[in-house]
Amino acid sequence: MFSAYHVEQERWTRQQLQCDCGSRWTEIGPQQLMQLDGKPSDVYRATCDACGGETMVDFDVSSFFGRPSDLQALDDQDTARG
Ligand SMILES: [Zn+2]
């Protein structure tokens, strides 16, 4: 899991990731907010067009979860704050 402190940093990190074959991942579907190890986490699914591989990329977003931001729609999930 990656630690994210800002949604833009999260996006930048995702853009740096590569498949084992050296190609870039193509994200599929919307991000999903999940609880992983008790932390609010953004989970992305991606495929590799070159080799057909698939991956899940997850970010610990607890550092900024609940702030007014792109995640505002998820702000009513108070269970994340413990
Ligand atoms: Zn690949």
| pLDDT per residue as tens digits for the range 19-54 | 999 999 999 988 899 999 999 999 999 999 999 999
In the chain, what are the domain boundaries?
2-71
- Residue 56 CA to ligand 1 center (angstroms) comes to 13
Per the prediction, the chain carries an average pLDDT of 86
- Residue 27 CA to ligand 1 center (angstroms) comes to 13
pTM of the model: 0.73
pLDDT at 59 over 70: yes
Amino acid 59 reads F
Say if CB 23 and CB 80 are below 8 A apart: no
Amino acid 68: pLDDT = 62
Apex 72 CA angle, 60 and 41, nearest 5: 15
pLDDT at 66 over 90: no
